[in-house]
Structure 1
Amino acid sequence: MEIREPEPDEAARIQEVVDSSMTTSFRLSPGQIDAITDEQLGEETVTEKIDDDETLLLVAETGEDIEGDAVAGFVEGRLAGDWGEVAWLFVDPEHRGHGIGTELYEAGTEALRDQGAEHVCVTVLEANTEGHQFVERFGFEHDGDRRVEIAEESFVKYVYTEPDVDADLPNESTAEDADEDEFPETETTDGQLTATTDDGETVYIARDEEESGTAASFYTAYEDEDHADQFGFYCANCGSLDTSLGNMDRIECGDCGNSHASRSGESYDDSYL
């Protein structure tokens, strides 16, 4: 396996890797995957990034022991002040199990440090069901959230850093803006976060009882201040309390379609490394 910079004529193959990886490992609708790919990682965009000196792109070219196309993985990084950020990392599902993800991660972070990064962070889309555990394997810790707008839709990225790093994160203002907008259609009542149902009843939102969602988090909502009687769930994407709980603990918002499905340790595929 060889880790190298991509050639412009490999942009279409990179898009294929991104699309197949997101389809397998992201809890997103086909429309959301297409929108993210087209805007952030499509063929034309990747071609432009290859020519951009401020963007780090590396691909993993497979050896003869793995059948299929030569490019089987892709990582994108960038410098932001003293920080190097690993923004995207994808491995074609057909080529997992050969250490490609680990090789790309290590090569990407090393290249960012060679370019002057004093610290490294990794951002993972909240809906990436396997990416969070992958990053945690390298000792990184969840250190904040960043709301990003892609194709006119709001998504949340988790920011992971090495433990005990005493430095402001890159784009800190963006992360703060995401925090301010985290609870739409709510207010604070006697120090507690509350929302109002369509019937005019007040429910109490437990900020420390969070479940991930494809667009934003869900929080447990209670009928009482003591958080004894559960009302349901609050959707932080649109502020709705119209949520349902289905099979396999799947939560879905009836207003915006934001959804959550449990991610267990068994669902994680070690071959991603």
Structure 2
Amino acid sequence: MEIREPKPDEAERIREVVDSSMTSSFRLSPQQIDGITDGQFADEAIAEKIDDENTLLHLVETGEGIEGTAIAGFVEGRLEDEWGEVNWLFVDPEHRGKGIGTELYETATEALRDGGADHVCVTVLEANTEGHQFVERFGLEHDGDRRIEVAGESLVKYVYTDSDIDVELPTESRADESGDEKMAKDESDAEDAEVDEFPETETTDGHLTATSDDGKTVYIARDGEKSGTAAPFFITYEDEGHEEQYGYYCANCGSLDVSMDNMERLECSACGNSHAERSKESYDDSHL
């Protein structure tokens, strides 16, 4: 097993690892997976990252491929001021259980610190059902959320840090943006777009409220947020004092028609926005 930096002409092989890893372990649609691979790991994107002195890339190559060597894993890190961020880490399903994920993680964090990072964080897509337990093995704790745009959809990334760190987290990473998104952002940094985070709501006596299909007024708890694939969900109550829970409100479309199954998965019947609690039972310590 060899850990090294990738070459520009290896983008297609990297995409194959990314695609197989996400298909196996990520709770994403094929369109969302295509959006990530096309935006983050296209030939041009890989070449740009290789040329970017603030982006650190490493891959694992083994001699176990059908035609000789095979790329078994890939990790991407980025330096953002005093922070180093492990932004993506993938291990091909056929090569899991060999410690490749751990080797990539340790290589990336060491390279980030050698590059000048005072602190290191790790970001994991909410939909990565196995990645959360993987990073928690290293003593990291969920310390915030970040939203990224993928193929026109908003996805949530969890930010993990060492529990002893008491400094402000980086709010976003340029590594999460495709080339087109970076260009668009550069062109519009001075413009503040106002987003309606609570569609189909009113303010009633200082309380944020919504009206159900049968005309009932429900009260939305802004501090009762659960992340969603498109926008957050918020707990709703039948009373101003937030004592009798009514259900959930979808901030993507404003609907109260949100169902929860016995695994505590939320889904909006109106727009398909969804949320799933992470299950530690789904992770095997030897998986990566």
Q: TM-score range by the shorter chain?
A: 0.7 to 0.9
1:252 aligns with 2:267: yes
TM-score, normalised by the number of residues in structure 1: 0.85
Question: Where do 1:36-115 residues align within 5 Å?
Answer: 36-64=36-64, 70-115=70-115
Aligned CA-pair RMSD: 3.0
Question: 8 Å contact 1:11–1:43 — kept in the other structure?
Answer: yes
Q: Pick one of 207, 229, 246 that aligns with 1:231.
A: 246
1:12 aligns with 2:27: no
Helix, strand or coil for the counterpart of 1:62?
strand
Q: Deviations over 1:10-31 (max 9, x none)?
A: 1101101111111122111111
1:125 aligns with 2:140: no
Q: Deviations over 1:108-164 (max 9, x none)?
A: 010011010011111111221112221111111222211222222212211111123
Q: Which residue number in structure 2 is paired with residue 137 of structure 1? A: 137
Cα distance in 1 between the residues matched to 2:120 and 2:217: 43
Q: CA deviation at 1:226?
A: 4.5
Cα distance in 1 between the residues matched to 2:217 and 2:68: 57
Q: Which residue number in structure 2 is paired with residue 32 of structure 1? A: 32
Cα distance in 1 between the residues matched to 2:55 and 2:162: 22
Which 5+ residue runs of structure 2 have no aligned equivalent? 175-191
Cα distance in 2 between the residues matched to 1:194 and 1:246: 25
The structure-2 alpha-carbon separation of the partners of 1:160 and 1:198, relative to structure 1 and needing over 3 Å to count, comes to: same
The number of residue pairs the alignment matches comes to 269
1:202 aligns with 2:206: no
Q: Deviations over 1:55-77 (max 9, x none)?
A: 11110112559998521111111
Question: 8 Å contact 2:155–2:228 — kept in the other structure?
Answer: no
Q: CA deviation at 1:223?
A: 2.2
Q: Which residue number in structure 1 is paired with residue 179 of structure 2? A: none
Q: Deviations over 1:1-51 (max 9, x none)?
A: 221101222110110111111112211111111112111123332233222
Which 5+ residue runs of structure 1 have no aligned equivalent? none
Q: Deviations over 1:162-205 (max 9, x none)?
A: 1232322223699xx9xx97655556656655333344432233
Q: What is the percent sequence identity of the aligned residues?
A: 75
Helix, strand or coil for the counterpart of 1:90?
strand
Letter in 2 for 1:108: A
Helix, strand or coil for the counterpart of 2:128?
coil
Helix, strand or coil for the counterpart of 2:156?
strand
Cα distance in 1 between the residues matched to 2:18 and 2:231: 22
Helix, strand or coil for the counterpart of 1:224?
coil
Letter in 1 for 2:133: Q
Question: 8 Å contact 2:154–2:229 — kept in the other structure?
Answer: no
Q: Which residue number in structure 1 is paired with residue 163 of structure 2? A: 163
Cα distance in 1 between the residues matched to 2:162 and 2:203: 34
Question: 8 Å contact 2:22–2:33 — kept in the other structure?
Answer: yes
Letter in 1 for 2:27: R
The structure-2 alpha-carbon separation of the partners of 1:30 and 1:99, relative to structure 1 and needing over 3 Å to count, comes to: same
The structure-2 alpha-carbon separation of the partners of 1:189 and 1:163, relative to structure 1 and needing over 3 Å to count, comes to: farther
Helix, strand or coil for the counterpart of 1:205?
strand
Cα distance in 2 between the residues matched to 1:73 and 1:153: 26
The structure-2 alpha-carbon separation of the partners of 1:63 and 1:120, relative to structure 1 and needing over 3 Å to count, comes to: same
Question: 8 Å contact 1:127–1:213 — kept in the other structure?
Answer: no
Q: Which residue number in structure 1 is paired with residue 149 of structure 2? A: 149
Cα distance in 2 between the residues matched to 1:98 and 1:67: 21
1:214 aligns with 2:229: yes
TM-score, normalised by the number of residues in structure 2: 0.81
